[in-house]
Structure formats: C-alpha cells, structure tokens
Amino acid sequence: MARLLSFPDPVDEVSARLVAGGVVVLSAAYVATAWTPLVVVLALGFLARVLTGPTLSPLGQLVTRVVRPALPVAPRPTAGPPKRFAQGIGATLSTVAVVAAVGLGAVGAAQVLVAMVTVAASLEAFLGFCLGCKAFALLMRVGVIPESVCAECADISGRLARSR
C-alpha cells in the first residue's frame, strides 16, 4: 500500500509536460462548456496524481505507458516534490471548482478557478514553466518548506551535471 501511495522522484519532465497538455485540453473544455463531469474528472485526476503520481491517474497512465514511450526524446529527470506540490495546487483549485459548481451552483466561479488551472497547465505544457514549482521554491527559500523535503531542490549541482 505504501508503494501505491508514493509519488515518483525523480519525475520525467517530458512526461510531466505531456500530462499538463492533457490537463490543458480537459480544463479548457470545461471552461468552454461548463459540463460538470469534466471538472469532476479533472479534480479526480489531480487527486490521483497527488497521491500516486501516474499510478492511479488515467491521464498519467496514458502518458507513461503509451505516449511517452513512443517519443524519441531522452528522459529529463527533475525533482518530484515540486511537481507533487504543483499537482496539489491543481487538486485544490479543481476540487474547489467542483464544490462551487455542484454544491453551490456557482458555475461561473468554477470556470474561473479552472481557467486558472488552464493557464498554469499551459505554461507547463508549452513553455516548461511550472508555477507550482516556482511557488515550492519560494516556500523553501523562506523556510516554510524545509530543505529536507527536497534535498535536490536545495542543491541544483546534480541537475546541472546531468544536463551537460
């Protein structure tokens, strides 16, 4: 059970960006249509990825088992904890959107929340810029997140050596 509820570390940056691309499609479709099942699926996917990485996420499985292996691109390892934090932000926003839409009937508010997810996922998917990862780094810098959570994040020399 402990292995099931674990998040990969390191994470393949290419896979993370592909998953973000799937999130862009799903979240943009919800913003455009306000069809409630889409935001529910979005929230459940984020929750699954926070808990288990790609293991219980249908989108994560599609990317890691089908799409990623078909691409002739070398893996690009990156630290897992910031990516998990970013997934947690997506889970929070999308879950609050479900509560707003289903529980409160505030569909417009839900669409705004999911539009925020769309923007963040687009930055990750198309530019490789992870807003959640930047927030994680800032929280580490100010001492809210201890360095022990992500030793690799505190010392980037290992990542620099791998990128050469």
The pLDDT tens digits for 18-30 are 999 999 999 999 9
Residue 78 bridge partners (DSSP)? 11
On the question of pLDDT at 163 being above 60, the answer is: no
The whole-number average pLDDT for the span 108-136 is 97
**Contacts with 23 (C-beta within 8 Å, 6 or more apart), sequence order:** 42, 45, 59, 90, 117, 118, 121, 125
Mean pLDDT score across all residues of the chain: 92
Q: How far apart are CA 68 and CA 78, in angstroms?
A: 16
Whether residue 73 is contained in a domain is answered as: yes
Whether residue 43 is contained in a domain is answered as: yes
Per-residue pLDDT of 44-56, as tens digits, reads 999 999 999 999 9
Q: Per the structure, how many domains does the chain have?
A: 1
Whether residue 2 is contained in a domain is answered as: no
Query: Domain range holding 137?
Result: 11-162
Whether residue 1 is contained in a domain is answered as: no
Number of H helices, E strands in the chain: 8, 2
Whether residue 5 is contained in a domain is answered as: no
Q: How far apart are CA 136 and CA 163, in angstroms?
A: 21
Whether residue 67 is contained in a domain is answered as: yes
On the question of pLDDT at 164 being above 70, the answer is: no
Whether residue 4 is contained in a domain is answered as: no
Query: How high is the pLDDT of residue 151?
Result: 82
Whether residue 69 is contained in a domain is answered as: yes
**Bigger pLDDT: 64 or 159?**
64
Per-residue pLDDT of 151-162, as tens digits, reads 877 665 454 455
Query: How high is the pLDDT of residue 134?
Result: 96
For 35, the enclosing helix (H) or strand (E) is none
Write down the residue that tokens 């417009």 correspond to.
108
On the question of pLDDT at 124 being above 80, the answer is: yes
Q: How far apart are CA 126 and CA 29, in angstroms?
A: 17
On the question of pLDDT at 34 being above 90, the answer is: yes
